Structure 1
């Protein structure tokens, strides 16, 4: 579809150029022609972007779209990903980021052709934003399909949660070429699955399936082929409904305990948590009111909006309280 769009844009540009050339002959006409050409170039550049960002309420999806290169990460793509994550960070309405690869592949790592041309350090520098621990203060989810190898594997590890298709292939393929884990992959992998299994993957370059990744503890959910993005968005929806301040605080505390002990990143995250505490207290006040009104009782994680309890639910609550009181009296 995007190829068709490119052709249509190119055809439109050509016709606009011919039209303007035929109609205008003055300097004004030349200026007009130049403006048209510049606008056309801008349109083509927009079509050729290597990522697609879409928003669904509080959920933002970042889709890597270099299908002809198995969604490998060149310098331009890494810069675009960095800009998209920064924009997500600053967007007050955006709550959860889902990272996905178009065309059935998550990412095959650094673009080897560009690495040969520009060198390893150029790509490493362009990927610097992905080295942050955590990747974002807000929740991030990787929808892993097809290959997630080398730096693509590290990108999945950088996310907080991973929804992985059972037929996906993950691993440290950079081992074949002597490439180290660039995006703190070794540290992240070890914190997620433990030292011994992490060393097995890191040292041997062994590839694992989505099923094996789940058994190791890398996946929060495994799903069938072609459904990872949909399932990741469903998971994101379940996170959006919660008060975000406490969720982010707990996330940062967990990440700190394993990835950033006694470091500048740890102090930064502690400062972020402190800044969120006041808002979290306000969220808790609202949460207490909701619970007192019957929302979320009996361990329910659904229908967390302000809906009055039905008669049968009120009766059930009264019966439970009566039973508990009777048990206490018996013990006395």
Structure 2
């Protein structure tokens, strides 16, 4: 890096980057210890790769950053026609209306089904806290073919683990590239504004919902989101999912997690309205394999703050990160708080809670 908004090319073999068209569609991806970050390029000038903001700054402060990953740190340049090298790679040029694919020998286009997803969600189930959607069953359906466009915008994907990311610029110290590579006080001030990646099928403010015998495949994001924060729901209403059963379904070939239940913001763990509580969620006998293919820091199944979550007899395999994750907050929102987060300065920005959070057995 030569500045807070750029990288310097030190390998002359990469000088050709300055000659490429549509440089603002190129993306930097960094696969780190527990984050998988995407930051789009603005332009390339000489040996300087200038990045789009706020994605670049947001990806370079906090923990496990693009600049100083805790582990891993594989860095990739993606999304240019010039990068097509290996069989199976593809590039979409919207301006030209063309999709390029590096095909294997003997591949005949007419004998294959090629899909270009345009929808960012397929199904949105959401009422209100006072009048939730009730009593729906979805059985034997195939949910396929969505996209998620945010990582390619100036917001990027300033990933913080398990599908959460920084959605906007936040106040940060001027010297964040040195002072905030393993956390800092101002970073704690941004923590409660983390966003969740949206799902293709979204359930919030709903009760008595069942998914059984369905297939969730070829989705460009999280497959099924149940009671996530409002920012992850196109309806604008988050949380409030109860008595939801997901049984004997298949999740495969998806860009994000298979199933994400619960939110991460304050109303998820200490809801202002009891009707916001996610409760009585059953995930049973599902097959979850080859998900999180593009956002590799996501688990097959994640449950955050849920009252009475039952996760049983699921076959979870062939994943890029964790299989099944339960919980969120690392003790910061438990009664009495966490000394670690007290040392970090989190409680300068939020209360030390004296009451239990939503992650517990039913009362």
TM range, normalised to the smaller chain? Answer: under 0.3
Give the strand-richer structure, 1 or 2.
2
Greater radius of gyration (CA): 1
1 or 2 for the larger relative contact order (CA 8 Å, sep ≥6)? 2
What TM-score results when the alignment is normalised by the length of structure 2?
0.22
Give the helix-richer structure, 1 or 2.
1
What TM-score results when the alignment is normalised by the length of structure 1?
0.24
